[in-house]
Amino acid sequence: MKKCFLMGHRDSPVTLLPKLTEAIRQCIEEENITDFFVGSRGNFDHMCVQTLKQIKLLYPKIHLYLLTPYYCPHSTSPLPDEFEGTYFPEGMESVPPKFAISRLNCIMVKECDYLITFLTRTSSPLYPIYQSALSQQKKRKLIIKNFGVFPDKE
What is the domain partition of the chain in residue ranges? 3-153
Residues in CB range of 52: below 8 A, 6 or more apart: 24, 36, 38, 62, 64, 82
> Alpha-carbon distance 129 to 43, whole Å?
19
Query: Does pLDDT of 150 surpass 80?
Result: no
What average pLDDT is seen over the chain? Answer: 88
Q: What is the pLDDT of residue 33?
A: 95
Residue type for position 45? D
Residue 132's contacts (CB-CB under 8 Å, 6 or more residues apart) are: 106, 109
What integer pLDDT is reported at residue 73 of this predicted model?
64
d(Cα 111, Cα 103) in Å, to the nearest integer? Answer: 12
With 0-12 / 13-18 / 19 or more C-beta atoms within 10 angstroms meaning exposed / middle / buried, residue 129 is buried
pLDDT bracket for residue 138 (50, 70, 90) = confident
pLDDT tens digits for 39-87?
A: 988 899 999 999 999 999 999 999 999 998 887 766 667 888 889 988 8
Give the architecture (CATH level 2) of 3-153. Answer: 3-Layer(aba) Sandwich (3.40)
**Neighbour-count burial of 139, counting CB atoms closer than 10 A to its CB (0-12 exposed, 13-18 middle, 19+ buried):** exposed
Among residues of the chain, what percentage have pLDDT more than 70?
A: 95
How far apart CA 29 and CA 14 sit, in angstroms, is 24
